Amino acid sequence: MPTARESLLDTALEALGTLPWSAVRMVDVAARARVSRQTLYNEFGSKEGLARALVRREADAYLLGVRRVLASPAPPERNLVAVAEWTVARAAERPLLRALLTDAWTDGLPRPRPARPGARPASVPAQRRADAGPPAPGELVAETAACAGERWAAGCELAVRLALSHVVAPPITAPGAQCAEPESWRPTTPTITSVIETILSVDTTSPRKTIP
């Protein structure tokens, strides 16, 4: 059973699917989650705190997915390709993650700042972490690469950066067609996947098994 905090985050994210963040009201989030407003404020402190928690959870869920992909018994090179595929697929369906990875924030999304210096620390440990502010794209890529461990970190970073090039500039699907809008971004094509796999295979076959 989800905790009150998770229910509130789920409700806020669901509201964000139909409303711009500026129109999402704390009182409505509490009511829809069937949680008191006092509990909402105890957990997040403010609407800005709720936004920080939403964004931090999105980053953490992405990193958890990366770790699961890397834990597969497949060859390491194949797992790194799977990380690239996971990144593109996840970014296609999660606007908050797409913004985190690319720094392309739309007006409808929350773009929280860190808690102001000198502010009283939140009483909830998870909120104290969120209040540090969302990771910048480079920081999130570095966190992702670290999931692969020292031996494969460089290869993982390369896989993610190749994936992000697809996210930022998806392929044109027909002659004369325009680049796809964010809502229609799709997972990597077999051709792109093959290119990534080839690059990683070449760059990770040195005796050190690391990318120079």
**What's the CA gap between 134 and 56, in Å, rounded?**
6
Average pLDDT of 44-71?
96
CA angle 198, 201, 205 (to 5 degrees): 150
If you ran DSSP here, which 8-state letter would residue 23 be given? G
Q: Is 85:187 a contact under the CB 8 Å cutoff?
A: yes
Residue 177: CA atoms inside 13 Å, Cβ hemisphere, count? 9
Q: Other C-beta atoms within 10 Å of 136: how many?
A: 11
Cα–Cα distance for residue pair 43/122, rounded to 1 Å: 8
pLDDT digits (tens, 9 = 90+) for 151-171: 889 889 988 998 898 888 766
For residues 111 and 7, give the distance between their C-alpha atoms in angstroms, rounded to a whole number.
21
Q: pTM (2 decimals)?
A: 0.83
64-123 pLDDT, tens per residue?
999 999 999 988 888 988 999 899 989 989 999 999 999 999 999 999 999 988 888 999
Give the model's pLDDT for residue 44: 96
Question: Residue 76 CB: number of other CB atoms within 10 A?
Answer: 18
Q: Give the span between the Cα atoms of 168 and 83, in whole angstroms.
A: 17
Q: What is the CATH number of domain 1-44?
A: 1.10.10
Least confident of 9-23, 97-111, 136-150, 179-193: 179-193
In the chain, where are the structural domains located? 1-44, 58-203
What is the rounded average pLDDT of the residues 169-178? 56
